[in-house]
A and B are shown apart, each in its own frame.
Chain A
């Protein structure tokens, strides 16, 4: 291995690390607010990438129909709950079930299908409402269960989403053309424009998230719920709304990451899970509670993967997933807790 290859691999690792970082952030966010270990985050990333590809081929992606289907189910459930005298937050319900699907439909059917910008918009509007809708469909009825119980539900959901993915997109892989072919040269090393876009978008997104949590009232409410659920409820923060919001943010992040990786690598119907798990290894490095550590972990995973694929490509996945072992060991040495009230 020479210096050029190392730099090339480093760049590769940085780009995938950044993507894993986005996943890890979403996982930490959802876990802290709802205690759900949302392993389907990766599936949503694949959904986004495959929807992009499908839209690029001027086909209506199956995810759109899934969205309509889920929206209908959720509308029916809410109506049923409302009839039984449960108070429903209709405003957010309509945002997820009508507003977002309507805009998505507008982008798909009325805007010119060749435009990349339109496809991006359509993808974002299809994928983002999937999060809160799935939350309402799957997790809200069992929101008080143990972390373990929620995890089993999350794994179940993953199975369903992969099943749909195969149904919608088939078994062959998809890859879209890069947003830019431009490359910059620093010395002998070429820096791909696409890589730059990925890194820049991520930085902007992370900055936005930071502002959201520090300045925005909803962000503060989410943060409060994450720190203490009971306390948050006592001061009047609606827990269910927080669940909605955290899932919406997660799926929004998934949409963005999906769009970013669609030109980078070939995505298959089940690729999402592997990407998601790598984000997960990163999130675990942060103990599922720390954003900066999770980001750091993601960059580490990205580098490890890039260099592992050079030295021992057959064992790439083994090496990345086995990283979790020393990480957990390190965490268990540091952990000393009086009681975990699960």
Chain B
């Protein structure tokens, strides 16, 4: 959404705040409180591809923490004298955030290393148990809860009316929205977005996916806790009911209906559900009588409809409605370049041994995919790895890039043994790679995809990104990405959505992405597949230029003509073992290679 339209909408909202009827204002207060939780869920579900069914429990922790702090006699005795009624809720907020943080960290620790659906399952279970826990703890009031929680107050002015309290709620919401917007529009944001597409690609870009997932989970939990703090002081009495599993599910519905991939979807979703709910509560008893409440059925059916027909939620539709008013801003117009902002690597001199695999054996149960395969790669050479289908090339490639571990033997990168190291460590030490099955962020622009490759060259963390302290570095990163895109011959398609390119071009985007990380070694997995003749020639030219610059390139390829003209050395794999190594000319004449590719002709063998 354009900045202008946003500020107009906000101004209208602020003016309307004064005139809206009391009932609407207090509904809007709830919308704001929910929207804060949903905002966290949007970042988590829509952007990072994780889901939690336990957000209401985090809301509960925030609410109970502050309720306990502001009402318990224990706190009043020890802190009440020092801190006035203005500051006690602040203590409650911090207290809640600390507990939430610790808990989310712990839960993240145990689930985030597992497949994607374990986290939501775990959150269902613990969301339930927290509900029972809240209800059974005597000092938290059991099922009756805690009453007479003080309202928030600033100096002597107490924010007791929904209208005044709403200002606090919406200020906090818009502040968080701004922070999240900044976060997603940064280097760290790209990393968060990459979590959705599986961890292999992200890890190969040097992103610690486990830690990022844990951080996103904690971020969403902290927002939920903040919302609970507001809820507590707004409602001024709490019991376990609003923090049970069905509220968590409601939050998720809000996120999905609004549009889980869009920050503004949080407001849309929570607004729609809150208002529809309040409306239904009025009309349903009139139709069905008072003792039954088919609200959940109606809601569920609406939700199913949206899941089936609008899987991206309603926000994109709304944006389309307003799209004539909004001019899309092209990112590729960035011209400033401050190379000093990015860390860069000293390229090793030509001929240095970069990558050295010694006696790699890989067994899968009884199957031996690689049997003591050795291969080395020097700076400034193009080394091709070829072999018939099933020769074990991909297995070997995975071991070279740290994706898989060898059963025996070891890989050395720049003279350092990489035993026990993962793909991320390989990336940190300067290994760039592409994938046989293209792994791009499909809905993101080419520019964002390529900039992701330069992730390790930036330094600003989450907080700095949220506060926009990273802008100079971000410009440099984007400029670097644009340069690599142009260098690979894709200039002009920076703002194109990656998935709309042809498969061949997507492979080139992967090369550009690898290059923007300034690698010392480049591992290419069938880069020429799907390219047309001229594109292949361009690719060959690019690779030769890279060789001149001292980069070492290892390439797996099926196109013999391409390889023979390009490679300095070729290694041939067959049945998991190296059957030949040498220059293209030597390989072309090698009888074992000919056998492997063309088969042995029994009759003519004698005559040879």
Report A's interface with B, CB cutoff 8 A: 37, 39, 138, 141-142, 145-149, 151-153, 155-157, 159-160, 162-164, 166-167, 274, 277, 280-281, 284, 314-315, 317-318, 321-322, 324-325, 328-329, 331-332, 335, 337-342
Minimum CB distance partner of A335 in chain B: B114
The one of B49, B114, B292, B404 that contacts A328, using a Cβ cutoff of 8 Å: B114
The one of A138, A157, A339 that contacts B200, using a Cβ cutoff of 8 Å: A339
Given contacts A159-B300, A163-B300, contact A284 B311 (CB under 8 A): no
Minimum CB distance partner of B256 in chain A: A152
Do B311 and A155 have beta carbons less than 8 Å apart? no
Q: Does B115 contact A (CB under 8 A)?
A: yes
Do B121 and A159 have beta carbons less than 8 Å apart? no
14 examples of A-B residue contacts, CB within 8 angstroms: A145-B311, A148-B45, A148-B51, A152-B51, A152-B252, A155-B53, A159-B249, A159-B299, A160-B304, A284-B118, A325-B110, A329-B110, A332-B114, A342-B116
User: In the complex, what's the smallest C-beta–C-beta distance from A137 to chain B, in angstroms?
Assistant: 8
Do A324 and B125 have beta carbons less than 8 Å apart? yes
Report B's interface with A, CB cutoff 8 A: 45, 49-51, 53, 107, 110-111, 113-118, 120-122, 124-126, 128-129, 132-133, 136, 198-200, 246, 249, 252-253, 256, 292-297, 299-301, 303-304, 307-308, 311, 398, 403-404
Do B121 and A156 have beta carbons less than 8 Å apart? no
In the bound complex, residues from chain B placing their C-beta under 8 Å from that of A39 are 124
Do A342 and B132 have beta carbons less than 8 Å apart? no
In the bound complex, residues from chain A placing their C-beta under 8 Å from that of B50 are 148
B interface majority secondary structure:
helix
In the bound complex, residues from chain A placing their C-beta under 8 Å from that of B126 are 321-322, 324-325
Given contacts A159-B249, A324-B126, A342-B198, contact A148 B117 (CB under 8 A): yes
User: In the complex, what's the smallest C-beta–C-beta distance from B11 to chain A, in angstroms?
Assistant: 35
Do A277 and B128 have beta carbons less than 8 Å apart? yes
Given contacts A157-B304, A325-B126, contact A318 B136 (CB under 8 A): yes
* A155 to B403 CA separation, bound complex (whole angstroms): 35
Do A332 and B113 have beta carbons less than 8 Å apart? yes
Given contacts A142-B311, A339-B199, A340-B199, contact A318 B296 (CB under 8 A): no
* A335 to B136 CA separation, bound complex (whole angstroms): 35
The one of A37, A162, A167 that contacts B117, using a Cβ cutoff of 8 Å: A37
Do B122 and A151 have beta carbons less than 8 Å apart? no
In the bound complex, residues from chain A placing their C-beta under 8 Å from that of B296 are 159-160, 162-163
User: In the complex, what's the smallest C-beta–C-beta distance from A280 to chain B, in angstroms?
Assistant: 7
In the bound complex, residues from chain A placing their C-beta under 8 Å from that of B111 are 328, 332
* A274 to B131 CA separation, bound complex (whole angstroms): 13
* A317 to B299 CA separation, bound complex (whole angstroms): 28
Do A166 and B249 have beta carbons less than 8 Å apart? no
Minimum CB distance partner of B201 in chain A: A339
Do A156 and B253 have beta carbons less than 8 Å apart? yes
Do B118 and A163 have beta carbons less than 8 Å apart? no
Residue among B49, B53, B129, B246 with the most chain A CB within 10 A? B129
In the bound complex, residues from chain B placing their C-beta under 8 Å from that of A167 are 292, 294, 297
Do B198 and A151 have beta carbons less than 8 Å apart? no
* A145 to B53 CA separation, bound complex (whole angstroms): 19
In the bound complex, residues from chain A placing their C-beta under 8 Å from that of B246 are 159
Do B200 and A338 have beta carbons less than 8 Å apart? yes
* A318 to B136 CA separation, bound complex (whole angstroms): 10
In the bound complex, residues from chain B placing their C-beta under 8 Å from that of A338 are 200, 398, 403-404
User: In the complex, what's the smallest C-beta–C-beta distance from B203 to chain A, in angstroms?
Assistant: 9
User: In the complex, what's the smallest C-beta–C-beta distance from A335 to chain B, in angstroms?
Assistant: 6
* A322 to B128 CA separation, bound complex (whole angstroms): 9
In the bound complex, residues from chain B placing their C-beta under 8 Å from that of A339 are 198-200, 403
The one of A142, A146, A335 that contacts B308, using a Cβ cutoff of 8 Å: A142
User: In the complex, what's the smallest C-beta–C-beta distance from B245 to chain A, in angstroms?
Assistant: 8
Contacts A159-B297, A162-B296, A163-B296 supplied; 20 other A-B pairs, CB < 8 Å: A147-B117, A148-B50, A148-B120, A153-B304, A159-B246, A160-B301, A277-B124, A284-B118, A284-B121, A315-B133, A317-B128, A321-B128, A324-B126, A325-B126, A332-B113, A332-B114, A338-B200, A338-B404, A340-B199, A341-B198
Do B307 and A142 have beta carbons less than 8 Å apart? yes
Do A321 and B115 have beta carbons less than 8 Å apart? no
Minimum CB distance partner of B120 in chain A: A151
Minimum CB distance partner of A162 in chain B: B296
In the bound complex, residues from chain A placing their C-beta under 8 Å from that of B120 are 148, 151
* A337 to B114 CA separation, bound complex (whole angstroms): 9
Do B132 and A317 have beta carbons less than 8 Å apart? yes
User: In the complex, what's the smallest C-beta–C-beta distance from B365 to chain A, in angstroms?
Assistant: 15
* A45 to B303 CA separation, bound complex (whole angstroms): 24
Do B121 and A138 have beta carbons less than 8 Å apart? no
In the bound complex, residues from chain B placing their C-beta under 8 Å from that of A147 are 115-117
Do A335 and B113 have beta carbons less than 8 Å apart? yes
* A328 to B308 CA separation, bound complex (whole angstroms): 31
User: In the complex, what's the smallest C-beta–C-beta distance from A120 to chain B, in angstroms?
Assistant: 28
User: In the complex, what's the smallest C-beta–C-beta distance from A273 to chain B, in angstroms?
Assistant: 8
Do B116 and A315 have beta carbons less than 8 Å apart? no
In the bound complex, residues from chain A placing their C-beta under 8 Å from that of B304 are 138, 153, 156-157, 160
The one of B122, B132, B299, B404 that contacts A324, using a Cβ cutoff of 8 Å: B122
User: In the complex, what's the smallest C-beta–C-beta distance from A164 to chain B, in angstroms?
Assistant: 6
In the bound complex, residues from chain B placing their C-beta under 8 Å from that of A318 are 129, 132-133, 136
In the bound complex, residues from chain A placing their C-beta under 8 Å from that of B295 are 163
Do A314 and B124 have beta carbons less than 8 Å apart? no
In the bound complex, residues from chain B placing their C-beta under 8 Å from that of A329 are 110
* A325 to B107 CA separation, bound complex (whole angstroms): 8
User: In the complex, what's the smallest C-beta–C-beta distance from A152 to chain B, in angstroms?
Assistant: 6
In the bound complex, residues from chain B placing their C-beta under 8 Å from that of A331 are 114, 118
In the bound complex, residues from chain A placing their C-beta under 8 Å from that of B45 are 148
In the bound complex, residues from chain B placing their C-beta under 8 Å from that of A164 are 297
Closest 6 CB pairs of A and B: A160-B300, A163-B297, A163-B296, A321-B129, A321-B125, A159-B300
In the bound complex, residues from chain B placing their C-beta under 8 Å from that of A148 are 45, 49-51, 116-117, 120
Minimum CB distance partner of A148 in chain B: B51
In the bound complex, residues from chain B placing their C-beta under 8 Å from that of A37 are 117, 121
* A53 to B303 CA separation, bound complex (whole angstroms): 31
Do A152 and B307 have beta carbons less than 8 Å apart? yes
In the bound complex, residues from chain A placing their C-beta under 8 Å from that of B110 are 325, 328-329, 332
Minimum CB distance partner of A280 in chain B: B121
* A61 to B32 CA separation, bound complex (whole angstroms): 42
In the bound complex, residues from chain A placing their C-beta under 8 Å from that of B117 are 37, 147-148, 151
* A94 to B256 CA separation, bound complex (whole angstroms): 34
In the bound complex, residues from chain A placing their C-beta under 8 Å from that of B122 are 324-325, 328
User: In the complex, what's the smallest C-beta–C-beta distance from B278 to chain A, in angstroms?
Assistant: 18
Do B132 and A315 have beta carbons less than 8 Å apart? yes
Given contacts A37-B117, A142-B308, A340-B115, contact A155 B128 (CB under 8 A): no
In the bound complex, residues from chain A placing their C-beta under 8 Å from that of B200 are 338-339
* A318 to B110 CA separation, bound complex (whole angstroms): 18
User: In the complex, what's the smallest C-beta–C-beta distance from A146 to chain B, in angstroms?
Assistant: 8
Do B114 and A149 have beta carbons less than 8 Å apart? no
In the bound complex, residues from chain A placing their C-beta under 8 Å from that of B114 are 328, 331-332, 335
User: In the complex, what's the smallest C-beta–C-beta distance from B60 to chain A, in angstroms?
Assistant: 14
Minimum CB distance partner of B116 in chain A: A342
Minimum CB distance partner of A155 in chain B: B249
Minimum CB distance partner of A339 in chain B: B200
Minimum CB distance partner of B133 in chain A: A318
* A338 to B201 CA separation, bound complex (whole angstroms): 11
* A280 to B252 CA separation, bound complex (whole angstroms): 20
In the bound complex, residues from chain B placing their C-beta under 8 Å from that of A341 are 198
User: In the complex, what's the smallest C-beta–C-beta distance from B443 to chain A, in angstroms?
Assistant: 14
In the bound complex, residues from chain A placing their C-beta under 8 Å from that of B256 are 152
User: In the complex, what's the smallest C-beta–C-beta distance from B72 to chain A, in angstroms?
Assistant: 22
User: In the complex, what's the smallest C-beta–C-beta distance from B55 to chain A, in angstroms?
Assistant: 13
* A162 to B307 CA separation, bound complex (whole angstroms): 19
Minimum CB distance partner of A329 in chain B: B110
User: In the complex, what's the smallest C-beta–C-beta distance from B249 to chain A, in angstroms?
Assistant: 6
* A54 to B253 CA separation, bound complex (whole angstroms): 33
In the bound complex, residues from chain A placing their C-beta under 8 Å from that of B311 are 142, 145, 149
* A162 to B293 CA separation, bound complex (whole angstroms): 11
* A149 to B132 CA separation, bound complex (whole angstroms): 28
